[in-house]
Amino acid sequence: MIDKGYEITVEEMENFIKKNRLKIEDADGTFFYRGVSKLWLNPEEYSEYYDSSPGIGYGLSKWINKNISIAGSETPSSEVIPPN
């Protein structure tokens, strides 16, 4: 599971694509799995991710806007929520 408040970067995304020999094509989507869905059956622990959540950083959101049709995740927010 990725740490709360962890920012996923463009470099990580591009490395993942290259390492897995993927090709991004028009209208592709992506789903960011961070392991947080393991907590769905424990609502009290899962709800902590409303206050601080790993997610897409600003640079990656701009990259997604140019390269991907839709993005999602299993966390309350797809974007990073830094810890308080």
Q: Where are the domains of the chain?
A: 7-73
C-alpha 35/C-alpha 37 separation (Å) is 5
Residue 26, pLDDT score: 84
What pTM did the predictor assign?
A: 0.86
Helix (H), strand (E) counts: the chain: 3, 4
Q: What are the structure tokens assigned to 83, written together?
A: 């810890």
Q: What are the structure tokens assigned to 53, written together?
A: 């959540």
pLDDT digits (tens, 9 = 90+) for 12-65: 999 999 999 999 998 899 999 999 999 999 999 999 899 999 999 999 999 999
